[in-house]
Structure 1
Amino acid sequence: MAGAITSILALILSAAAAGSAFAQAPPAHRDIRDLKATVLDVKGFSSDLNSNVSDLSAKASGLAARHDGLSVRADKAAVRVSMLGDVLFDFDKASIRSSAEPTLDDILRLAASVPSGTIVIEGHTDSKGSAAYNKTLSFRRANAVADWLASHGMKKARLSVKGLGDSRPVAPNTLANGADNPDGRALNRRVEFVLPNDAKRAK
């Protein structure tokens, strides 16, 4: 009997020692788990930022799919909605065509969905005419669009207007052989709506 009791006690002590050793091991494992949790949290934060970028970009892309003359470019800082000048204005004019208003109305709704920050309206022209004239025309056009947005509910304090003339083409104004490129010039005549995409501020 005494031998049996001794054996049982030995087993209990052995189990306790193993349990103690096992109990001492988890901190390292906990550190690893904590690190994994931190990495996952950071990844989640990054995912949230990308989600906000994607959400606004997706809305803008949906808008472009519904309206002729719109295109979209996006990065982490902003979503740019570009509207062709030939859709917005008559030749060499800065008065908005009535036919462009349904598109502007949808752009207004998109801009209003951005919770804060400045919305920049940029006017662009092709390279025909002098640089000074083009800069003036591009500003007048951008300003006309900003006035339209403000008159339809957008707070003017949130709008900033730039006339960039022909300084930022998105297509060649001339072909490689020096000939005129009407299609390229048409793409350069545009107004761009620069919507801030600061996810941290939006939160």
Structure 2
Amino acid sequence: MKIIFASQNTGKVREVKSIFENSNFEIISLYDLGNNIEIDETGSTFSENAVIKAKTIYDYYKEPVIADDSGLIVEQLDGRPGVYSARYAGEKCTFEDNNIKVINELKEFPEPHKAKFVCTAVFYDGKNIIETVGELKGKIIKEQRGNNGFGYDPIFVPDGYDKTIAELSLEEKNKISHRAEAFNKLLAKLKRYFKI
């Protein structure tokens, strides 16, 4: 069964396809479809934004859709960047711009800089919404390390690790990440939903 993944982010697409690869679901991304639909993420929570993405793409293709919204929540920054994680340093900013902004904002605070990644994943088929949440707790460090991953991965060290997420392999990341947790839970719910 084909499901459209409402994402153009190649890093996310690679992670989610690897989670679904041995299931009965074939994940087709917007990137695969050659479509870069601009979606206005106006929600105030990860859940609201994920549902907005799923419904927008469903309305366009009339096919079942999965979508997610995720971000970094830093305790000492009162939960920022939160839903603004992707564009924290401003419109058209790079991942590095965002990382530098977070590092600079934390300079006035004592270590450790406790943080967590949160991901809300949703499925929408025109009738029902199925939603799951994943979290990964850790801390923010002062310098970027590692070339794997994307986003805030180079400055985030998960609890129990001495490496940043960007220093882990995709296989290691998919065992612990917030996105992996959310999408593994979603996959389990979809198997029950479709009785497969």
TM-score normalised by the chain length of structure 2: 0.31
- Which has the larger helix fraction? 1
TM-score (norm 1): 0.30
Q: Larger relative CO (CA 8 A, sep 6+): 1 or 2?
A: 1
